[in-house]
Every structure is written in structure tokens, then in C-alpha cells.
Chain A
Amino acid sequence: MSTPAHPFASRPTAGRKFENATFWFFRVATYIILLAGLAVFGDIILKGSSTVFGAFKSTEHFPYVTNTFLSEAPETLYVFEDGGVKREMGDTEYRAYRESRIASALAAGEPAPQFKSESYVYSAGGIWPCIVGTVLLVVGSMAIALTLGVASAIFLSEYAKDGAFVRFVRLAILNLAGVPSIVFGLFGFGMFVIFFDWNVSLLAGWFTLAFMVLPVVITASEEALKAVPQGFREGSLALGATKWQTIRSNVLPYALPGILTSSILGIARVAGETAPIMFTAAYVVRDKLPWDVEKVSDFFFQGVMALPYHIYVVSSKIPQNEYTSRVQYGTAFVFLGIVALIALASILLRNNLRGRYKW
């Protein structure tokens, strides 16, 4: 029998083992999540970056370099053999190439060459219209959501007296947060597209997406407003400020960082959702860019292409092959990048505000 050297010597008891096992469980769980995250991002970055970075081309005029994947519209890809060389070309390039080959053959008195090509839809060109469409959808819907959401949060937390009505409104907002996004899509379709007769349009998409993120914006804005010390309001009112003067100059500025945090979450959601825009705003393909309109009012009543919907289309609506996967991952890569950029900009803005208003 060994006697411990001192009273604090560690002894391997069952309790200790359990402690150790618990610690390892938590630790491993965290690592699994980390791995899953790395796998998702790694997969998309690995496969997607080659599409994006492989699309740089030199041009004859300024800025002398362009990225066809980021700056062109989707095209059909043609794969064919010419003179024993396998070539891949987008639609326009292929037509021009074929014309010039036939013309040069005729001029040389040779028989016109035969092109046996296979075509793959949407697998060439780029995703510029989708980027434009997504940015437009995000900016418009967040503008609507923030205006309505912050106004309603101010009303609920600063003006409304706690009662049955306010409790009912809060319950309604909470319920709204639980509605699946496809239901919002259906609602937007029935309400804006059919009943208001806006057709598939930016406006319909904006309102549908805005309604979808409103609960997030309202709840988070209310939290942010509540976090402003009551002393600021009382101090201001005691100096003879009106309610709105108090809110504008002594409550809202300090709640703004929190409101922005909520809108960052909202941006990621608005940019990423496919279901709400599927019926309301998104086109599978559209030749014209959104600013290519005759009158200003047409701008609001046009459908757009969007990144998440484009991923959906190229992943499920066309035959799958080695060429389509390039577009899928390339689009996903650009998509992640854009969401990250928008989020980064909001975070920088928020931190800037936070530094300015500290208490």
C-alpha cells in the first residue's frame, strides 16, 4: 500500500475520469464543427477560385486586364474539335470563329469545314448580371427593412405603453420570424406579383425579402435601444427636450452600432435566400442589365438574375457534367466573397460608430 506523499496528491477517481471525459467531449465537438466549416469553405474556395482566377484576360484598352467570369453574362459553352485540337468557346466567340473559318476556307477554295460541337448551357461566360442583381436586391430590401424595422422598434420600445396591443404586436413579430422563407416567396408572389400586378420585379423582390428580415431587424433594434441607459433619456428630457429630440440625439446614435449588427445578419440572409425571390424577382437568364431601361420607372419593374438563384439553376435545372460544376463553384465562390465584403463593410462602420459613442 502506497501512502500519498502529501495531502494534495492527485488520485484517479471515477469523478476525475468523468471530468476528463466531459472536457474531451466538448473539445472534440468544437473540432468537428471547425472541420466541417473548413471543409465547406475549402471545397468552395478550392474549386471556385480556379474558375474565377482562370478567367483573367488581357484587353487592348484600359484597364488592360479583365475577368470574363466577373464581367460577362452567362453563355452556352461549345466544345468542338478543329484540326485535331479540342477547343472550348462561349456562344459569341464560337459563332465568330466558325464564320471566320468558313470564310477563310471558301476564299482559299477549300470545302467549308464541318464543326461537330457539343453545347452546354450557361457553362461559359460569366455571372456579372447575377452580381448586379444580388447587390440591387440586398441594397433595396435592406433599405426598406431598416426604415420600417427601426421605425417600428422605436415605436415599440420608446413610445408604446406596455399593454395587450404591444404584446400582440410582439407575438406577431415573433411568429413572423418562424415563417419558412418559401412561404414568404409564395406570399410575395400572391401579393406583389399577382395582386399588385408588379410582375416578377425588383420591387416585388425587395418587399418580399424585406418582410422576411423585418423580425430580425425589429428584435435586434429593440434590444439595441433597450441597451441605451435610461439615464440618457431622463437627463435629456429633464433639460426640456421633446421625446423625438431625445431619441434622435441621445438614444438612436448609441443604439446604431447594435442596429447595424442586426442588419449585418439581415444582409447575409437577404443575399442568401433563394426561395423568396424565386417567384418574385429572379429570372433564369436575362440579356439586359438592370440599368438598361427606357424609363426610370421601368427600373423597379424588371426582374433580375441573382447569385443564389443562379446556383440553383446551374445545379439542378440543367444536365450535370464537368463543365457545369465550374460555374456552380465559381458562382458560390463569388457569392461568398460578396457577402463577406458587405458584412465586412458593415462591421467596419459599426466599429467606427462604437468607438465614437462609448459610455
Chain B
Amino acid sequence: MVTTTSSRTPLSSPMETPADTPASRTFKVSSVPSEDDRADTLIEIKDFDFYYGTKQALFDINLKLDDKRVTAFIGPSGCGKSTLLRCLNRMNDLIDGTRITRGGVKVRGVDIYGRDVDSIELRKRVGMVFQKSNPFPKSIYENIVYGLRIQGVKSKARLDEVVEKSLRGAALWDEVKDRLHESGLSLSGGQQQRLCIARTIAVEPEVILMDEPCSALDPIATAKVEELIHELKKQFTIIIVTHSMQQAARCSDKTAFFYMGKLIEYADTRTIFMNPANAQTEAYVSGRFG
């Protein structure tokens, strides 16, 4: 659990070590790299420019995201982190007037904006959890099997199995096992968000994109989702957009800091929070702007 800092004293100079800043003192960031630090690159974003109509939202993004790791995107509101996240499973295709003018995104070496790529197939492999939990107004059971049903899975035994597995995976099974056929909307906010995660892992994607999954949750529900993220990264690659720097520090392996549509710094989370190379990053993580 994170204790909130009561006051934020301005730093005397940007050269002061971030470890001494009030904000970073509450982070539990290990300073020793662990053994399994090496990871393969799963997603590669190269020279990426993105527009909403005539307004450029992303400028020349270059980023390599690791397989089976948690990557956090942080930055102030409107910095393009959610936009980039939504580009990774082509959710931005749904918005009129969006276009990519340069560069691209490769998942496992395949350009996902290529002409022969079916965005439906892509989204089966790259799932997404939204800021506002959006369980469908169906039963908990139907919420979980939704993805399988549209793929044509009919076997009751298989669906039951997936429901239990997904709910266990989302640490929700014990809370809802006796009321699987009640509406998903009868759950609390945190449970709804975990239901959405369960629904996503039911289709067994490789990547789970999380767009500020905890911004509408209380600290206890947030802690549960964060524990869940730790569990999930054994199986899935997770990319999480967050406004909470504590959250990025707690649950991510690598962190990318965005500002004004540009990628400012991308490094190991501990580097970003303990020893950022860029003065803007340092100012942001220490709470001096944003």
C-alpha cells in the first residue's frame, strides 16, 4: 500500500537525486536488477506519426515493448499515451478521421497496419481493458463466454471450463462462483473491472492493453487489480496506461514517459523513477508538473 505524501517540497535543483524526493520515497522499487530481466521484443513501434483529423497526436514514436512483461505508459493528460495504446490493437480505426502518416507498429514482426491484416484477428490476440469498466448487461457467465461464443464455441463443457479458468485467473472466482448467472452489473466497481479482465483473458490473447484500469477504483480495489497484474504477467504481455506514478512504479517492469505526443524517455521502471536521464521525466515523476 502506498501512503500519500502530504506535502511536495519543490526541488532546489534538477540535479538532486530523485530518491530523495518525497514522491519517490514511497515507491517500492528494487534497485537490484533481477535474474529474468532479459525479455524478447514483442511489439515494435517505429517512427510512428498519428493524426486525429489535422491535429497530430503522436510524433515519431520509437518503442520496443517486451514479451511477458508489464510496460507502463505515463505522462500528463493529453500526452498521447492512450492514443498510442489504442493504436496497438487498432481501436482507433473506429474513430473517424484518424490516420497514420509515417511509420508503423509490428507485433511479432508483422506490421499490424499492413494491407492483409484483419483487425478482428488482431484484436483476438491483443485484448483491451478500458478505463471505465464496461461489463455487458448480461450475466457474469455470459460476459466471460462472449468472446468464445462469437468465435463459434458451443460446447457447454468447454465454456464452463473457460469461465472458471478465466475467473480464477482474474482472482474473481471465489467472490462470484455462486452467482454466475446474476447480471455483471450487480458487481462492485472493482469486481466489474476484474470481470472485464476475466472476459479479456477468456479469449487467451497474447497482449492485454489496459487503459487506466484503476482510475475509477478505490485504493483497495486498485490493490487487487495490481496484484492481478503481477499474476497475469506470467502468461500475458501487459501494457498499462496510468495516471498514477505510484501504480507505474509498483507494477511495471519498464516505463515510457510521454509528453505532448512525444516519447520523452523509455527505460527500466527503476531507472525512470530513481535516475531518469531527462530533466522533464525527473520533474514529472517527482511531482513537479503534470
Our pick among A234, A239, A242, A254 for the contact of B147 (Cβ within 8 Å) is A239
Q: Does A227 contact B (CB under 8 A)?
A: no
CA distance A238 to B150 in the complex (A): 12
Let me know if A254 and B137 touch, CB within 8 A. Answer: yes
Our pick among B96, B137, B200 for the contact of A238 (Cβ within 8 Å) is B200
Let me know if A232 and B134 touch, CB within 8 A. Answer: yes
Q: Does B239 contact A (CB under 8 A)?
A: no
Within 8 A of A (CB), among B122-181: 123-124, 127-128, 130, 132, 134-137, 146-147, 149-151
Please, which residues of chain B bring their CB within 8 A of the CB of A245? Answer: 150
Please, which residues of chain B bring their CB within 8 A of the CB of A240? Answer: 120-121, 123-124, 147, 150-151, 203
Please, which residues of chain B bring their CB within 8 A of the CB of A239? Answer: 123-124, 127, 146-147, 150, 199-200, 203
Let me know if B147 and A229 touch, CB within 8 A. Answer: no
A237: shortest Cβ distance to chain B, in Å? 6
Q: Does A115 contact B (CB under 8 A)?
A: no
Contact with B along A230-252 (1 / 0, CB 8 A): 01111111111110010001100
CA distance A241 to B94 in the complex (A): 13
Most chain A CB neighbours (cut-off 10 Å) among B89, B91, B127, B147: B147
Let me know if A357 and B150 touch, CB within 8 A. Answer: no
Let me know if B147 and A241 touch, CB within 8 A. Answer: yes
Q: Does A162 contact B (CB under 8 A)?
A: yes
Let me know if B91 and A236 touch, CB within 8 A. Answer: no
Chain A interface residue count, CB cutoff 8 Å, equals: 22
Q: Does B43 contact A (CB under 8 A)?
A: no
Please, which residues of chain B bring their CB within 8 A of the CB of A237? Answer: 91, 94, 123
B240: shortest Cβ distance to chain A, in Å? 15
* Closest residue of B by beta carbon distance from A231: B134
Q: Does B185 contact A (CB under 8 A)?
A: yes
Contact with A along B197-241 (1 / 0, CB 8 A): 001100100000000000000000000000000000000000000
Let me know if A357 and B123 touch, CB within 8 A. Answer: no
Chain B interface residue count, CB cutoff 8 Å, equals: 27
Please, which residues of chain B bring their CB within 8 A of the CB of A317? Answer: none
CA distance A239 to B129 in the complex (A): 10
Let me know if B137 and A359 touch, CB within 8 A. Answer: yes
Most chain A CB neighbours (cut-off 10 Å) among B130, B132, B134, B135: B134
B241: shortest Cβ distance to chain A, in Å? 14
CA distance A357 to B185 in the complex (A): 11
Our pick among B94, B134, B137 for the contact of A357 (Cβ within 8 Å) is B137
B201: shortest Cβ distance to chain A, in Å? 11
Within 8 A of B (CB), among A143-192: 161-162
* Closest residue of A by beta carbon distance from B183: A358
Knowing A237-B123, A240-B121, say if A162 contacts B96 (CB, 8 Å). Answer: yes
Please, which residues of chain A bring their CB within 8 A of the CB of B94? Answer: 233-234, 237
Q: Does B248 contact A (CB under 8 A)?
A: no
CA distance A241 to B149 in the complex (A): 10
Our pick among A233, A238, A241, A249 for the contact of B89 (Cβ within 8 Å) is A238
Let me know if B130 and A234 touch, CB within 8 A. Answer: yes
A79: shortest Cβ distance to chain B, in Å? 64
Knowing A250-B136, A357-B137, A358-B137, say if A235 contacts B196 (CB, 8 Å). Answer: yes
Let me know if B134 and A235 touch, CB within 8 A. Answer: yes
Please, which residues of chain B bring their CB within 8 A of the CB of A254? Answer: 137
Query: Considering the complex of A and B, which 3 residue pairs feature the smallest CB-CB distances, nearest first?
Result: A231-B134, A240-B124, A239-B147
Q: A235-B136, A250-B146 are in contact. List 12 more A-B contacts (CB 8 A).
A: A232-B134, A235-B130, A235-B196, A237-B91, A237-B94, A238-B128, A240-B121, A240-B203, A242-B120, A250-B136, A357-B137, A358-B183
Interface positions of A (Cβ within 8 A of B): 161-162, 229, 231-242, 245, 249-250, 254, 357-359
16 A–B contacts from the bound complex (CB under 8 Å): A162-B96, A231-B132, A235-B134, A235-B136, A235-B199, A238-B123, A238-B127, A239-B146, A239-B147, A239-B199, A240-B124, A241-B120, A242-B120, A245-B150, A249-B150, A359-B137
